[in-house]
Amino acid sequence: MADVNKMESHTSSPAKLLSYADKDQTLMTVLQYLRENNLEETAAVLRKEAKLSDSNLPAPTTQSQSSSAVSHALAAYKSSDDPSIYDDVYSDLKAFIDSCLDVHKVELSTILYPVFIHMYLELIYNNHGQHAFQFFQRFSRDQEKYHEPDLARLAAVQRREHMENDQMMETFKSSRFVIRMSRDSYTHLKRHLQERHMTLLINMIQEHLFIDVFDGVPRNQDQIQATSGALLGDAEKEANKAKVFYGLLKEPDLNVPLEDEDEGEGDGDGTGKPKKKKAKKDPLLMKKSKNDPNAPQPTRIPLPELKDQDKIEKISAFREALKRDKLNAEHLPSICFYTFLNTSQGVTCVDFADDSSMLAVGLQNSNIRVWSLVPKKLRSMKSAMELEIIDKEADDVLERMMDDRSATEFKILTGHCGPVYAVSFSPDRSNLISASQDGTVRLWNLVTWTNIVCYKGHIYPVWDVKFSPHGHYFASGGQDRTGRLWSVDHYQPVRFFVGHLSDVDCVQFHPNSNYVATGSSDRTIRLWDVLSGNCVRIMTGHKGAIHCMSFSSDGKYLASGGVDHLVIVWDISNGTAVAHLTAHTGIVYTLCFSRDGTLLATGGMDNSVRLWDLARVMEEQDPEADSNMPSSLNVNSNPALLLGTYYTKSTPVLGLHFTRRNLLMGCGPLAMQS
């Protein structure tokens, strides 16, 4: 890995790209400033690390001169007396790239956008507003189409004061734009800059860009497009080096044989006697019970112990798995779609319970509605006075606690004071978590149908919240650019996930609960380790904000979709994209893997549900591709991966869910035609 000021370590030429005189001058200025302000201990530490003696320090200056020198040394953008030089330098760089061989031209052209951004900001910073406007008008049309939203915000920055109040401009000024480039292309660029003595461009690249050099042939257009689009360019290769335990946790041995369905039928000898019960192993249980070398230790993070009710629920789920339809390209699932009518209150989010028995809906009017999707209606607990007289030793005490008189098809939860943007059921369906514009996350009990905890931590609207597959934990993300991990028994977050450069729009737990994925408006996906709180994967490739994510049932793959109408399937083991699914014509708001992981269902604002062949993606994945060699990676974008498209009449698809038997359920509000 190299940035431009370390170029000499990656090439055979001993010549340095630029002198270190500017660095030495900056260091001396800072030391002088510290000494004049009686910060002797700090100055001593700096001198020791820089290996400087007192004799190296410059002569004392006045306080005003020192402050001015420090301001100049630490300014993000240095002044230039001749603003017209920016047009000439950019034109020269563009002409050089156009003159290169095609094999290098595509890769070298990735440097034009960040150079354009920083030249414009430098002109604005140095009060050359008119030249900045002309520079923008001349070269902005050369940038990629997916940069248009960022360029629109850039055009609104016309004075230095505007830069100080703009979050995106501060991001560009304080962070480096990452570009991955082959060594051959990099050598061509370096030689050109040295031969033309382009000091302005050299300094800009050194301060604001990070060129990540790799050995091998240059990437082609498709390979570059597959990873481009993020606010600050590609992910550094070191960002995806950490080992990720993507395997599933070993399931506890429940020691419960599963009975044959036809146990009550007579046997074949005509005697009419019932068949002898025969224990039958569940293949899903057997698979999860094996030791997966890629799985984390069961004790890696604290997880709640299974209660008796949880064990009964798992047994029920395993029995359901025996009756699961096996889906493939020839055998597609049936789809059951729920349409919300008379939605004047505005449906903002939906969630299905894991056993498909309930559906929760968040509304613009700050309420939450929970529907029963099975014949059994939703009941509330009896009053305290009535609970005192029930027999607490009875086997059916839980049933006796419920009030049949309160049974209804839906319940309304009231407590938020702003639109509800996300809802999520706990695995045991006893609780519901919700996130709102009011900056709070609320935990609701679905036995008493009351709010039991209000979690405060986010300082702006919370866009998404998800329960862990194992319960106890939940994750949230919001406009404050952070993701947070919570446990239901703590009112403060137990982990902060900080690193995104814009809103965290969606969160998702890995099936083993050891990792949390976050999708952001900075057009990146990050995977966070719950144990340490560190970011272990950064995935780039989306050209717009990311609104939904889903992990495959085996935990190895992650699918994501968003504003760019694109669905990307990622390999978590190395953080690379394995498939680009391009068919949607609107924002993708929801996606879901089938229970066996062979199909992916997606839906969105184009009023359609689409099914994709994930089994084929996995079969066609190149096992010999090296993630350290970007030019060897290829993304599957075969149109034949699309197995079917199913349109609603006039209903955007906000939620999709596969039942335990692989029936696909979907829902959305009816959009009235104007």
Q: Look up the CATH number of the domain holding residue 59.
A: 1.25.40.500
Is residue 88 assigned to a domain? yes
Specify whether the CB–CB gap between 593 and 559 falls below 8 A: yes
Residue 271 belongs to some domain of the structure: no
Position 325 pLDDT exceeds 50: yes
Q: Which residue has the higher pLDDT, 534 or 2?
A: 534
Which sign does the torsion angle of CA 387, 389, 391, 396 carry?
Answer: negative
The boundaries of the domain holding residue 163 are 4-240
Q: Cα–Cα distances in Å, from 268 out to 273, 274, 280, 503? A: 9, 10, 20, 65
Q: In this predicted structure, what is the pLDDT of residue 81? A: 62
Position 58 in a domain: yes
| Percent of the chain surpassing pLDDT 90 | 63
Q: Which residues contact 498 (CB under 8 A, 6 or more apart)?
A: 481, 482
Q: Closest Cα to residue 671, out of 591, 604, 588, 584?
A: 604
pLDDT of residue 395 exceeding 80 = no
Contact call for residues 200 and 80 (beta carbons, < 8 A): yes
Asked, for residue 441, whether it belongs to a domain, the answer is: no
CA angle 210, 214, 215 (to 5 degrees): 155
Looking at residue 643, its pLDDT comes to: 96
Greater confidence (674 vs 513) lies with: 513
Q: Alpha-carbon distance 412 to 428, whole Å? A: 20
Give percent of the chain with pLDDT exceeding 70. 86
CA gap 330, 658 in Å, rounded: 18
Which among 277, 346, 274, 284 is positioned nearest to 316, based on CA atoms? 284
264 vs 255: which has the higher pLDDT: 255
Residues 6+ apart with CB under 8 A from 537: 239, 240, 242, 244, 525, 526, 527, 572, 575
What does the pLDDT average to over 235-254? 88
Question: d(Cα 466, Cα 479) in Å, to the nearest integer?
Answer: 16
The residue written with tokens 């029930």 in the block is 390
pLDDT of residue 37 exceeding 80, the answer is: no
Residue with tokens 């497009």: 225
State the pLDDT at residue 79: 52
**Region of poorest pLDDT, from 35-39, 166-170, 175-179, 237-241:** 35-39
Residue 255 has pLDDT above 70, yes or no: no
Q: Give the pLDDT band (50/70/90) at residue 70.
A: low
> Could you tell me if 301 and 338 are in contact, meaning their C-beta atoms sit under 8 angstroms apart?
no
Determine the Cα–Cα distance for residues 582 and 638; give it in Å rounded to an integer: 9
Confidence of residue 5 (pLDDT cuts 50, 70, 90): very low
Q: In what order do the strands lie in the sheet with 420-425?
A: 420-425, 431-436, 440-445, 450-456
As given in the structure block, the two tokens for residue 499 are 């690193």
pLDDT of residue 266: 44
Among 208, 224, 240, which residue terminates a domain?
Answer: 240
Choose one of 216, 240, 264: the last residue of a domain: 240
Residue 362 belongs to what H/E stretch?
strand 358-363
pLDDT of residue 9: 36
In a domain, 310, yes or no: no
Concatenated DSSP letters of 562-603? ETTSEEEEEETTTTEEEEEEE--SS-EEEEEE-TTSSEEEEE
- As a 3-state breakdown, the chain gives helix, strand, coil percent values, each rounded to 5, of 30, 30, 40
For residue 252, the model assigns a pLDDT of 76
Highest mean pLDDT among 214-218, 435-439, 624-628: 435-439
Question: Where a domain ends, among 240, 255, 274?
Answer: 240
Q: How many domains does the chain fold into?
A: 2
Identify whether the C-beta of residue 626 lies closer than 8 Å to the C-beta of residue 609: no
**Is it the case that residue 1 has pLDDT exceeding 70?**
no
**Greatest mean pLDDT among 144-153, 264-273, 276-285, 477-486:** 477-486
**Whole-number Cα distances in Å, 328 to 325, 368, 664:** 10, 36, 14
CATH of the domain at 550: 2.130.10.10
Q: CA 528, 506, 238 angle in degrees (round to 5)? A: 30
Mean pLDDT, rounded, of the chain? 86
| Residue-wise pLDDT tens digits, 156-169 | 999 888 888 788 88
Burial 397-414 (b: 16+ CB within 10 A, else e): eeeebeeeeeeeeebebe
Q: Taking residues 381-385, what's their average pLDDT?
A: 85
Position 378 in a domain: no
In angstroms, the CA 269 to CA 87 distance is 94
Lowest mean pLDDT among 69-83, 203-217, 351-365, 476-490: 69-83
Average pLDDT over every residue of 439-447: 96
Q: Tell whether the model's pLDDT for residue 19 goes beyond 60.
A: no
555-609, pLDDT tens digit by residue? 999 999 999 999 999 999 999 999 999 999 999 999 999 999 999 999 999 999 9
In a domain, 304, yes or no: no
pLDDT at res. 73: 46
Alpha-carbon distance values, 516 to 50, 454, 476, 513 (Å): 40, 22, 10, 7
Higher per-residue confidence, 392 vs 636: 636
pLDDT of residue 56: 59
- Strand, helix or coil for residue 286: helix
**234 vs 322, residue with greater confidence:** 234
Q: What is the pLDDT of residue 57?
A: 58
307 versus 412: which is more confidently predicted? 412
Region of residue 38 (left: phi > 0; alpha: psi -120 to 50; beta: else): left
